[in-house]
């Protein structure tokens, strides 16, 4: 077994860059800060590739597949003999894959941001926060135990808060960052409860022990039951609640569209490729426990994922802000990943869903980041987010146009791009497990193609809108990341994931099931054609359809009014009936007690001030009477 | 028999004059009453055959301290000035404290049986006193003697410094 | 030693003198009369020492000599006290004890 201690550098370099830029960045020239950030991430990326190479090629053991290795571990908090919290690095197929994904996308975003954020006064602050985020995400991915993952989970939430609220002078950005943090924090409460339940019942935090098929965790499934489901199932459902919050699954999805207030590179990095897949990663990490010990929890995961994907797809068809369309598209695709995990079994062919989910995670990171960065280039050129303010941009932004088109074709599942392969595997897994879920996902595939091409035609085709100044192509520093990601999108589909990332570490045979593949391609093409008909040229067809389906259109445009529901619950119920009484109690009881103690002290002080009157005879009197009393007590009474 | 009468007489004088000292309104009279108290005390010492001690009491106390007190009275007040007595509340409380203390002490003393040493009455002559005052063997009191002389020196210097008139700086 | 007069008579006298001195110290307003009360207290203690010496330990002379020391100390203390009183008189033009209450809250 090789030595993987150097993998510690992968998260630590961004941490060092964060500290360096955060403390001294204001003295640097902006370009220097950007270069330092990008170089740091570049080194981490190269180290990740080296690790991936070493692991996937060097660690293959015939018969048992890829083992998970603890590259480094240190005991951080030793509370009692049974309760110790370690910090360490875990090398495992999915963590190595995530290392590659996170560092690559982060590196590309860093390079892109040098161009995108040019001229912004807080340039170095942006890069330091990006590095903080990279550090947190890498720490989360490399966590050896669930508590360490929770620590970095929260750190990721903080970084997201800082980055969404980057334009802190805009009230909408501040509100959005608060909303994101509060919603995810609320879901993390469920996560914490799940962690506590799980570790209490199994006696360990460590992933290797928890996911051991012969270990104590899975054996405890037969233990105590509560309301029909075992304690293990309940704890896993709570853990999934935490994952659902971070991954913007229904009903915790409300923060994701608002998070688009942040700068576009942030949306690309965090809210498309890395942070939002943390929930998927969590379920994947605990997958053996889910599959072997609590299949009911997996059912919950699958249905939540399926519902979220169709919910988001319907809403995305009506949105006009290009970043919001992409946000809902992200939510929908993550629904795909969750569903794939949910319908998966454990071991060999059964584990197809697991592999498909991770494969889709990999490809989705590439093409979604590409889509967001391309949208950023568009926004950079025309200074508006709304589709109504854009048109005919394919003449002005050629490179952006080509890469955006590639990404749209990928997400629609057209071969030979990578999206086809990963989506197809998910559909196969769903077909073999639950026909209803398969039907939902099939419809969502069509809707995805439709709204993505609606977006594409709306931006790059149509009539020339009146622009303030002619839009120009982005500088090279912004287009090179687009090209690199496009390259990954095209060729990532050919990676043999079924040999590398599987549920139990052993490779299995996988082939394309043409029975499923051909219909899925067909519905993708159908979606593209419908979108072309409706949006390629200016015509009144979309407006007529909006009028025909008036109610459905209105509800979808307002995201099914979930924001209003949440606002109602918080303002009218929680604030009025819970927060207000608590605030009253705090002010009138607790503060009054403190003030009362101080007041009594002051009153007593004034009252006994007279003892120190300066009058000699009073002192002598007290002296004499005190002596008399003491003598009385000690000689006669005691 | 006469001894007992003398003792009772001296005791009565001590008590009466001390009460008068603390209650009279005229300051100079208080000083004179104090003088009488001290003389009566000296008389008590004479009766106990401590002649040297009584002589010292008369010389230092009655002759030195009372004179000092009278000088200071004359320096700081008019002869016909009447002293202001304390407010009633203060008097009552002090009287109570005093009475309580006195009762307590008397109870303690009178309960205890002091066994008097009925031995031979030693005759103290001045040579013996003088010898033991400066000898430094086990029975000698040379050390207290030296200590008290240092104390007197310090008191003398202190009194002179404290009572010195401040010279005003003429600018 | 006087026949038929036991030790307790002396102790009674000295106790009364002591407490009368205390009463005087607590009640009098004039600083000099307070000083006189202190002399009363010291005197009562002297009588105590001498009585104990004579009745309980006639061979030893510790009480006797301690009494001499006490007289010397009382003299020194009276001298310094008078000096201070003179100084107070110079500053306040009166020697009422309520004038010297500067050290208070």
Q: Which residues of chain A have a CB within 8 Å of the CB of B97?
A: 621, 624-625, 628
pLDDT computed for residue A61 by the predictor? 67
DSSP per residue, chain B: -HHHHHHHHHHHHHHHHHHHHHH-SBHHHHHHHHHHHHHHHHHHHHHTT-HHHHHHIIIIIIIIIHHHHHHHHHHHS-TTPBPPPPPHHHHHHHHHHHHHHHHHHHHHHHHS---------PPP-HHHHHHHHH--STT--HHHHHHHHHHHHHHHHHHHHHTPPPPPP--
Contact C26 B90 (CB under 8 A): yes
User: Rounded to two decimals, what is the model's pTM?
Assistant: 0.71
Mean pLDDT computed over A450-471: 81
**What's the rounded Cα separation, in Å, for the pair A270 and A597?**
50
Name the residue with higher pLDDT: A396 or A408.
Answer: A408
Q: Judge whether A618 and B93 are in contact, CB under 8 Å.
A: no
Residue B103 touches partner A, C-beta closer than 8 Å: no
pLDDT computed for residue B83 by the predictor? 73
pLDDT digits (tens, 9 = 90+) for B10-63: 999 999 999 999 998 888 899 999 999 999 999 999 988 888 999 999 999 999
Residue B3 touches partner C, C-beta closer than 8 Å: yes
Contact A632 B98 (CB under 8 A): no
- The SS3 of residue A239 is helix
Contact B101 A624 (CB under 8 A): yes
Q: Judge whether A418 and A366 are in contact, CB under 8 Å.
A: yes
Contact C97 A617 (CB under 8 A): yes
- The answer, yes or no, to whether residue A24 has pLDDT greater than 60, is yes
Q: What are phi and psi of A393, to 5 degrees?
A: -85, -5
- The runs of H, that is alpha helices, within A75-122 are 93-116
Mean pLDDT computed over A569-583: 86
Query: Locate tokens 């569209």: which residue?
Result: A257
What is residue A72's DSSP assignment? E
Q: Which residues of chain B have a CB within 8 Å of the CB of A635?
A: 104, 108
Nearest CA in chain A to C19: A624
**What's the rounded Cα separation, in Å, for the pair C105 and C103?**
7
Q: Which residues of chain C have a CB within 8 Å of the CB of A609?
A: 105
Helices H / strands E in chain C, number of each: 3, 0
Q: Which chains have 3 or more CB–CB distances shorter than 8 Å to chain C? A: A, B
pLDDT computed for residue B15 by the predictor? 94
- Residue A164 distance to chain C (closest CA, Å): 59
- Residue A597 distance to chain C (closest CA, Å): 22
Q: Which residues of chain A have a CB within 8 Å of the CB of C26?
A: 617, 620-621, 624
- The answer, yes or no, to whether residue A1 has pLDDT greater than 60, is no
B residues 100-119 closer than 8 Å to C (CB): 101-102, 105-106, 109-110, 114-117, 119
- DSSP H or E run through A453: helix A435-460
Q: Judge whether A339 and A469 are in contact, CB under 8 Å.
A: no
pLDDT computed for residue A353 by the predictor? 85
In angstroms and rounded to an integer, the radius of gyration of the C-alpha atoms of chain C is 17
Nearest CA in chain C to A628: C19
**What's the rounded Cα separation, in Å, for the pair A381 and C15?**
109
- Residue B21 distance to chain C (closest CA, Å): 8
- The answer, yes or no, to whether residue A565 has pLDDT greater than 70, is yes
Q: Judge whether A409 and A393 are in contact, CB under 8 Å.
A: no
- Residue A602 distance to chain B (closest CA, Å): 28
Q: What are phi and psi of A223, to 5 degrees?
A: -80, -145
Token representation of residue B56: 């010292």
Q: Which residues of A touch C (CB under 8 A)?
A: 609, 612-617, 620-621, 624
- The SS3 of residue A567 is helix
pLDDT digits (tens, 9 = 90+) for C6-65: 888 999 999 999 999 999 999 988 889 999 999 999 999 999 999 998 888 888 888 889
Contact B101 A621 (CB under 8 A): no
For A535-567, give one letter per residue: b (16+ CB within 10 A) or e: bbeeeeeeeeeeeeeeeebeebeebeeeeeeee
What is residue A145's DSSP assignment? B
Interior angle at CA A156, CA A28 and CA A287, nearest 5:
145
Share of chain B above pLDDT 70, in %: 93
Mean pLDDT computed over B64-92: 84
Contact A625 B97 (CB under 8 A): yes
Of A139-153, A433-447, B112-126, the poorest mean pLDDT is in B112-126
pLDDT class of A155 with cuts at 50, 70, 90: very high
Contact A628 B93 (CB under 8 A): no
Number of residues written out for chain A: 638
pLDDT class of A347 with cuts at 50, 70, 90: confident
**What's the rounded Cα separation, in Å, for the pair A578 and A580?**
6
pLDDT class of B134 with cuts at 50, 70, 90: confident
- The SS3 of residue A240 is helix
In angstroms and rounded to an integer, the radius of gyration of the C-alpha atoms of chain A is 29
pLDDT computed for residue B3 by the predictor? 84
Residue B83 touches partner C, C-beta closer than 8 Å: yes
Residue A617 touches partner B, C-beta closer than 8 Å: yes
pLDDT digits (tens, 9 = 90+) for A177-199: 999 899 989 999 999 999 998 88
ipTM: 0.91
pLDDT digits (tens, 9 = 90+) for A76-90: 888 877 778 888 888
Report CA-CA distances (Å) from B102 to A299, A632, C82. Answer: 94, 12, 29
Contact C40 B21 (CB under 8 A): yes
**What's the rounded Cα separation, in Å, for the pair B154 and B167?**
23
B residues 108-147 closer than 8 Å to A (CB): 108
Contact B56 C68 (CB under 8 A): yes
Neighbours of A383 (CB within 10 A): 12
pLDDT computed for residue B14 by the predictor? 94
Residue of B76, B100, B123, B151 to mutate, interface with C, max C Cβ within 10 Å: B76
Contact A631 B104 (CB under 8 A): yes
pLDDT computed for residue A308 by the predictor? 92
Q: Estimate to the nearest angstrom the gap between the alpha carbon of C63 and the chain centroid.
A: 17
Residue A630 touches partner B, C-beta closer than 8 Å: no
What is residue C96's DSSP assignment? B
pLDDT class of B120 with cuts at 50, 70, 90: low
**What's the rounded Cα separation, in Å, for the pair A96 and C63?**
98
**What's the rounded Cα separation, in Å, for the pair A266 and A274?**
11
- DSSP H or E run through C79: helix C62-92
**What's the rounded Cα separation, in Å, for the pair A182 and B8?**
97
Taken in order A261, A263, A265, A269, the sign of the CA dihedral is: negative
Q: Judge whether B64 and A592 are in contact, CB under 8 Å.
A: no
Token representation of residue B152: 């007197």
pLDDT computed for residue A217 by the predictor? 67
Q: Judge whether C2 and B7 are in contact, CB under 8 Å.
A: yes
Q: Judge whether A594 and C75 are in contact, CB under 8 Å.
A: no
Residue B85 touches partner C, C-beta closer than 8 Å: yes
Contact B98 A624 (CB under 8 A): yes
Q: Judge whether A257 and A324 are in contact, CB under 8 Å.
A: yes
Q: Which residues of chain A have a CB within 8 Å of the CB of B98?
A: 624
pLDDT computed for residue B98 by the predictor? 93
Contact C26 A621 (CB under 8 A): yes
pLDDT class of A351 with cuts at 50, 70, 90: confident
- Residue C40 distance to chain B (closest CA, Å): 7
| Nearby residues of A438 by Cβ (< 8 Å), 6 or more positions away | A427, A430, A431
pLDDT mean across residues, chain B: 87
Mean pLDDT computed over A157-169: 91
Name the residue with higher pLDDT: A233 or A462.
Answer: A233
- The answer, yes or no, to whether residue A509 has pLDDT greater than 80, is no
pLDDT computed for residue B32 by the predictor? 94
Query: Locate tokens 């005919």: which residue?
Result: A392
Interior angle at CA A385, CA A380 and CA A390, nearest 5:
85
pLDDT computed for residue C40 by the predictor? 94
Report whether the peptide linkage leading into residue A251 is cis, meaning its omega lies within 30 degrees of zero.
Answer: yes
The torsion region of residue C11 among left (phi > 0), alpha (psi -120 to 50) and beta comes to alpha
Long-range contacts of B59-68 (CB under 8 A, 24+ apart): B60/C71, B60/C72, B60/C75, B61/C39, B61/C43, B61/C71, B61/C74, B61/C75, B62/B35, B62/B38, B64/C75, B65/C39, B65/C74, B65/C75, B65/C78, B66/B31, B66/B34, B66/B35, B66/B38, B68/C78, B68/C79, B68/C82
Q: Which residues of chain A have a CB within 8 Å of the CB of B90?
A: 617, 621
In angstroms and rounded to an integer, the radius of gyration of the C-alpha atoms of chain B is 22
Q: Which residues of chain B have a CB within 8 Å of the CB of C99?
A: none
Q: Which of C22, C26, C104 faces A614 most closely, judged by CB atoms? A: C104
SS3 of A289-337: the string is: HHHHHCHHHHHHHHHHHHHHHHHHHHHHCCCCEHHHHHHHHHHHHHHHH
pLDDT computed for residue A2 by the predictor? 64
Nearest CA in chain A to B101: A628
Q: Which chains have 3 or more CB–CB distances shorter than 8 Å to chain B? A: A, C
Contact C85 B72 (CB under 8 A): yes
**What's the rounded Cα separation, in Å, for the pair A55 and A497?**
14
pLDDT mean across residues, chain A: 86
pLDDT computed for residue A307 by the predictor? 92
pLDDT computed for residue A63 by the predictor? 61
Interior angle at CA A452, CA A446 and CA A453, nearest 5:
95
pLDDT digits (tens, 9 = 90+) for A525-546: 988 888 888 887 777 787 787 7
Q: Which residues of chain A have a CB within 8 Å of the CB of B101?
A: 624, 627-628
CA-nearest of A220, C65, A181, A27 to B142 is C65
- The answer, yes or no, to whether residue A141 has pLDDT greater than 60, is yes
Q: Which of A613, A620, A624 faces C104 most closely, judged by CB atoms? A: A613
Q: Which residues of chain C have a CB within 8 Å of the CB of B3?
A: 2-3, 5
Contact B97 A635 (CB under 8 A): no
Binning chain C into helix, strand and coil, the percentages to the nearest 5 are 75, 0, 20
Q: Which of B86, B97, B108 faces A624 most closely, judged by CB atoms? A: B97
pLDDT computed for residue A512 by the predictor? 75
10 Å CB burial of residue B151 (0-12, 13-18, 19+) is middle
DSSP per residue, A165-221: TTSTTSHHHHHHHHHHHHHHHHHHHHHHHHHHHHHHHHS--BHHHHT-TTSHHHHGG
pLDDT computed for residue C104 by the predictor? 79
Taken in order A589, A595, A598, A604, the sign of the CA dihedral is: negative
Contact C11 B109 (CB under 8 A): yes
- Residue C36 distance to chain B (closest CA, Å): 7
**What's the rounded Cα separation, in Å, for the pair A366 and A101?**
8
Q: Which residues of chain B have a CB within 8 Å of the CB of C86?
A: 72, 75-76, 162-163
- Residue B85 distance to chain A (closest CA, Å): 13
Dihedral angle, C-alpha B102, B108, B111, B113, nearest 10 ° = -110
Q: Which residues of chain C have a CB within 8 Å of the CB of B11?
A: 9, 13
pLDDT digits (tens, 9 = 90+) for A40-67: 999 999 999 998 888 888 777 666 667 7
Contact B4 C80 (CB under 8 A): no
Report whether the peptide linkage leading into residue A416 is cis, meaning its omega lies within 30 degrees of zero.
Answer: yes
Nearest CA in chain B to C59: B122
- The SS3 of residue A495 is coil
Contact B104 A628 (CB under 8 A): yes
């Amino acid at each position: 077994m090789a030595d993987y201690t150097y993998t510690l550098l992968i998260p630590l370099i961004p941490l060092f860059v964060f500290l360096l830029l955060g403390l001294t960045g204001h003295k640097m020239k902006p370009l220097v800060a950007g270069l330092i950030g990008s170089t740091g991430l570049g080194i981490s990326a190269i180290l990740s590739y080296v690790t991936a190479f070493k692991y996937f090629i060097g660690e293959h053991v015939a018969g048992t597949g890829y083992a998970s290795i603890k590259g480094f571990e240190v005991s951080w908090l030793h509370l009692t003999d049974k309760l110790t919290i370690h910090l360490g690095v875990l090398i495992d197929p999915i963590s190595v894959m995530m290392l590659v994904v996170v560092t690559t996308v982060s590196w590309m975003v860093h390079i892109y941001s040098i161009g995108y954020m040019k001229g912004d006064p807080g340039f170095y602050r942006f890069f330091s926060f990006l590095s903080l985020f990279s550090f947190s995400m890498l720490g989360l991915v490399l966590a050896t135990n669930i508590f360490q993952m929770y620590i970095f989970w929260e750190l990721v939430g903080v970084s997201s808060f800082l980055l969404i609220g980057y334009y802190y002078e805009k009230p909408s950005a501040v509100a959005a960052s608060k909303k994101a943090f509060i919603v995810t924090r609320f879901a993390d409460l469920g996560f914490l409860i799940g962690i506590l339940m799980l570790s209490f019942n199994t006696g360990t935090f460590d992933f290797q022990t928890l996911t051991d098929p012969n270990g104590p965790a899975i054996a405890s499934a037969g233990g105590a039951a509560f309301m029909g489901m075992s304690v293990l199932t309940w704890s896993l459902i709570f853990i999934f609640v935490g994952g659902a919050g971070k991954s913007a699954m229904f009903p915790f999805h409300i923060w994701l569209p608002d998070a688009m207030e942040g700068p576009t590179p942030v949306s690309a990095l965090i809210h498309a490729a890395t942070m939002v897949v943390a929930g998927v990663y969590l379920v994947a990490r605990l997958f053996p426990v889910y599959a072997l010990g609590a299949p009911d929890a997996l059912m919950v995961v699958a249905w939540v994922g399926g519902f979220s994907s169709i919910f988001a797809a319907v809403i995305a068809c009506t949105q006009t802000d290009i970043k919001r369309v992409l946000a809902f598209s992200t939510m929908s695709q993550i629904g795909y990943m969750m569903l794939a995990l949910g319908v998966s079994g454990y071991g060999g062919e059964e584990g197809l869903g697991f592999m498909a989910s991770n494969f889709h995670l990999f490809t989705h990171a590439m093409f979604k980041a590409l889509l967001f960065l391309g949208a950023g280039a568009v926004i950079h050129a025309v200074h508006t987010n709304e589709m109504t303010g854009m048109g005919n941009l394919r003449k002005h932004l050629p490179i952006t146009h080509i890469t955006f088109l590639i990404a749209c074709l990928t997400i629609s599942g057209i071969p030979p791009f990578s999206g086809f392969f990963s989506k197809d595997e998910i559909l196969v897994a769903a077909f073999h497990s639950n026909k209803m879920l398969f039907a939902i996902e099939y419809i969502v595939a069509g809707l995805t193609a439709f709204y993505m091409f609606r977006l594409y035609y709306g931006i790059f085709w149509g009539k020339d809108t009146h622009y303030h100044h002619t839009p120009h192509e982005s500088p090279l520093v912004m287009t090179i990341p687009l090209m690199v990601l496009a390259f990954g999108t095209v060729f990532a589909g050919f990676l043999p994931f079924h040999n590398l990332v599987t549920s139990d570490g052993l490779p299995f045979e996988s082939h394309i099931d043409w029975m499923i593949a051909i219909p899925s391609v067909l519905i993708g093409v159908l979606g593209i054609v419908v979108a072309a008909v409706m949006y390629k040229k200016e015509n009144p067809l979309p407006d007529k359809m909006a009028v025909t389906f008036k109610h459905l259109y209105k509800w979808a445009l307002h995201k099914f009014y979930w924001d209003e529901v949440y606002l109602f619950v918080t303002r009218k119920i929680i604030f009025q009936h819970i927060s207000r009484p608590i605030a009253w109690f705090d002010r009138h009881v607790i503060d009054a007690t403190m003030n009362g103690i101080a007041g009594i002290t002051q009153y007593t002080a004034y009252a006994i001030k007279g003892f120190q009157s300066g009058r000699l005879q009073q002192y002598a009197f007290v002296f004499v009477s005190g002596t008399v009393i003491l003598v009385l007590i000690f000689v006669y009474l005691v | 028999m006469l001894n007992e009468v003398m003792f009772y007489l001296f005791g009565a004088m001590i008590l009466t004059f001390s009460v008068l000292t603390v209650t009279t309104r005229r300051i100079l009279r208080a000083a004179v009453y104090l003088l009488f108290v001290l003389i009566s005390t000296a008389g008590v010492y004479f009766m106990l055959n401590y002649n040297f001690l009584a002589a010292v009491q008369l010389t230092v106390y009655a002759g030195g301290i009372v004179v000092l007190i009278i000088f200071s009275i004359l320096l700081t007040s008019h002869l016909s000035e009447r002293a202001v007595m304390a407010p009633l509340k203060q008097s009552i409380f002090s009287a109570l404290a005093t009475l309580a203390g006195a009762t307590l002490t008397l109870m303690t003393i009178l309960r205890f049986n002091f066994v008097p040493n009925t031995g031979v009455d030693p005759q103290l002559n001045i040579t013996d006193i003088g010898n033991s005052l400066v000898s430094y063997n086990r029975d000698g009191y040379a050390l207290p003697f030296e200590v008290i002389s240092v104390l007197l020196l310090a008191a003398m210097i202190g009194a002179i410094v404290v009572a010195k008139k401040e010279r005003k700086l003429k600018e | 030693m006087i026949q038929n007069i036991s030790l307790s008579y002396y102790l009674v006298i000295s106790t009364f003198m002591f407490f009368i001195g205390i009463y005087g110290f607590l009640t009098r307003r004039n600083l000099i009369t307070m000083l006189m009360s202190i002399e009363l207290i010291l005197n009562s203690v002297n009588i105590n020492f001498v009585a104990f010496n004579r009745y309980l330990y006639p061979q030893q002379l510790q009480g006797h000599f301690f009494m001499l020391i006490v007289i010397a100390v009382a003299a020194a203390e009276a001298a310094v006290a008078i000096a201070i009183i003179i100084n107070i008189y110079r500053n306040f033009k009166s020697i009422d004890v309520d004038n010297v209450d500067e050290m208070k809250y």
